[in-house]
Amino acid sequence: MRPGKLAERAVIVTGAAQGIGRAIAAACAREGARVALCDLAERALADARAEVEALGGAALGIAADVTRAADVEAMAEAVLAAWGRIDVLVNNAGGGIGPRGLMDTRDQEWDAVVDLNLKGQFLCCRAVAPAMRRQGRGRIVNIASNAGRFRSNTGFGGLAYSAAKGGVLQLTRSVAHELGPDGITVNAIAPGSVLSERGRREFEALPADLRERVLAETPLGRFARAEEIASIAVFLASDDASYVTGATILANGGWCAA
């Protein structure tokens, strides 16, 4: 296996059992990384870990709830115990609740979505920062969303999801400013629609006229593959992006230009 852009680096990917997270974990392994895959879906997590190992990469599978500080701290400690360092964090765990607007979003739905998509990323950033500071370098990649950058995308993740992903963008800028002097870069990726297994289900559940409109508004005329988002994450995690921090890369097929 060739050394790769992430050779021997210790990478944490949350929400790694499927979809974008699984694609990112595999892409990092192909670039020589040691990958800690974190998720609550333990059977799927075991399959994803096996995929990484089949690519020749060292792997850990960690069952962790990113909304719980104790789980997140234990996740970071497990990686440090195994590999002695944390070089990259990819904050991918997230999800929405479908088309819920202001008046039909229940309190517990709001709390659950904001905790998963925003609080979880905050907790993970906080957990890895001490190790990265000791090393004098690190990379944090936060997975945001088109829904948090432009108009509310209530047809997909709902109001709470859009608000939480908007918060991720500000979290990214703020943490980048704070950790930059320590040699740590912090960036975000804001994907549009991605045809992962979950993304396909969400898209197919939309009314036909909305599906047609979304595609019509996307200049490339299609949705992303999870592997296309993963390639951006690898770039941001590598030395190729050593002078990029506080940035959000839009990966939406030109939707923002429509």
Count the helix, strand and coil residues of the chain and give each as a percent rounded to the nearest 5. 50, 15, 35
At 222 the three-state DSSP class reads coil
Separation of alpha carbons 31 and 34, rounded Å: 9
Residue 161 is a catalytic residue: yes
Whole-Å CA distances, 58 to 25, 33, 237: 11, 8, 17
CB 20 within 8 A of CB 197: no
Supply 104's token pair: 């039909």
Given the residues 161, 203, 223, 255, select the one marked as catalytic: 161
Supply 138's token pair: 């690190």
**N-to-C CA span, the chain:** 42
Residues assigned a catalytic role: 161
